[in-house]
Amino acid sequence: MNFDFTDDQRAIKSTAREFLSARFTAEKVRELAEAGEYDDALWTQIVELGWPGIFIAEQHGGQDLGTVELAILMEELGYALAPAPFFSNAAAGLLVAHAGSDEQRERYLPGVAGGDRRGAVAVLSNGRAPLVADADLAAFIVLVDGNQASVVDASDARIEPVRTIDATRRFSTVDADGGDPLEGDVQAALDRIAVALAAELTGVAQRALELSVEYTKERKQFDRPIGSFQAISHRCAQMMLETEGSRATTLYAAWAADHEPDSLALAASMAKAYASDAGWRVTAAALQVHGGIGFTWEHDLHFFLKRAKTDAYLFGTAREHRDRVADLVGLSRSAAAV
């Protein structure tokens, strides 16, 4: 079996890396984060590449590819730490695509793929969602309550912007109810959203790792690069181990979504649990490697750490997904925690 990307998938990855690195430079990311804004012109360029519709059927304006291709893009977006409404829009599109009726797909997916009528997803608790990405920019919002979901126009929801530690993404609280029910498999869509988020966390970890390795080659103590000291080199090796583990579990879950959906539930929760922990541990370790400079506002590393921490709480924490893994494989929660 060939576990490598196809030629088309490699092309998607290389194109995304080149495009994002040129447009979302460290200076640009900082500028947008400090302003709490997105760049509409850059979003238009992303739409022109067809990325928002990468998993959407051609009849609805998409590229009709799969979750693996979406995961490739999400990892690169995480690597670039791109302030853009891509993930929120993709999450809404996944729910409509996998749980919506033909009429609902026809109504909402062209806007998702075209990037002009974007969606967002609000995970409710007692009728209120405390943390919703890009709700203030959405045309419609998918309300998720357990395994049930419905769609409401954003104008029918109460949306209040909220500040979080992650300045590279816009968040709001959402109060809403009712809406047009999605009668399909909501959980299958949520699993794919978890995989996409795990991919973004992998990209964040990869970038933090590379920043750290580069720093250990440049920073010297006692006339030696600090990377030559065991304490530093071992920490970087552990960071690489966790990043590669996150990538492996995420890509397997993405493959399962496209080719072995019966395995998706377990694979998705394994990926999100692992990536949530790895994203935080790798970025936190990167701060330690950088020493005092890593803790300053002037250094860009804190943006990656804050994105990793926030992503870890979206669509299920690591603990919640580990509990689900335990339930799916028939283990008690106490046994899974050991």
Which domain range does residue 75 map to? Answer: 7-185
Dihedral through CA 302, CA 306, CA 307, CA 313, nearest 10?
Answer: 160
On whether the CB atoms of residues 211 and 177 are closer than 8 A, the answer is no
On whether the CB atoms of residues 29 and 39 are closer than 8 A, the answer is no
How confident is residue 116, by pLDDT bands cut at 50, 70 and 90?
A: very high
Model pLDDT for residues 291-304, shown as the tens digit of each residue: 878 878 888 999 99
Q: 186-218 and 230-259 are packed helices; what angle lies between their axes, rounded to 10 degrees?
A: 160
Residues 197, 102, single domain; the answer is no
What local confidence, expressed as pLDDT, does residue 232 receive?
A: 81
Q: What is the mean pLDDT of residues 282-286?
A: 95
Q: For residue 337, is pLDDT > 60?
A: no
Among candidates 79, 71, 12, 10, which has minimal Cα distance to 268? 71
Phi-psi region for residue 199, left (φ > 0), alpha (ψ -120 to 50) or beta?
alpha
Dihedral through CA 100, CA 106, CA 109, CA 115, nearest 10?
Answer: -160
Say which residue, 337 or 4, is predicted with more confidence. 4
Q: What is the CATH number of the domain that holds 92?
A: 1.10.540.10
Residues 85, 193, single domain; the answer is no
Residues 120, 228, single domain; the answer is no
Domain boundary among the residues 119, 150, 185 is at: 185
Model pLDDT for residues 180-224, shown as the tens digit of each residue: 999 999 999 999 999 999 999 999 999 999 999 888 877 767 778
What local confidence, expressed as pLDDT, does residue 220 receive?
A: 67
Model pLDDT for residues 182-192, shown as the tens digit of each residue: 999 999 999 99
Q: What is the tally of structural domains in the chain? A: 2
Helices (H) and strands (E) in the chain, counts: 12, 9
Which helix (H) or strand (E) covers residue 150, if one does? Answer: strand 148-153
User: Bridge-partner residues for 125, per DSSP?
Assistant: 128
What local confidence, expressed as pLDDT, does residue 333 receive?
A: 59
Pull the structure tokens for residue 264: 């998706």
Pull the structure tokens for residue 194: 């978890």
Q: For residue 77, is pLDDT > 90?
A: yes
Does residue 218 form part of some domain?
A: yes
Q: What is the mean pLDDT of residues 41-61?
A: 97
Q: For residue 336, is pLDDT > 60?
A: no
On whether the CB atoms of residues 83 and 105 are closer than 8 A, the answer is no
On whether the CB atoms of residues 253 and 177 are closer than 8 A, the answer is no
What local confidence, expressed as pLDDT, does residue 222 receive?
A: 76
Q: What is the mean pLDDT of residues 138-167?
A: 96
Does residue 1 form part of some domain?
A: no
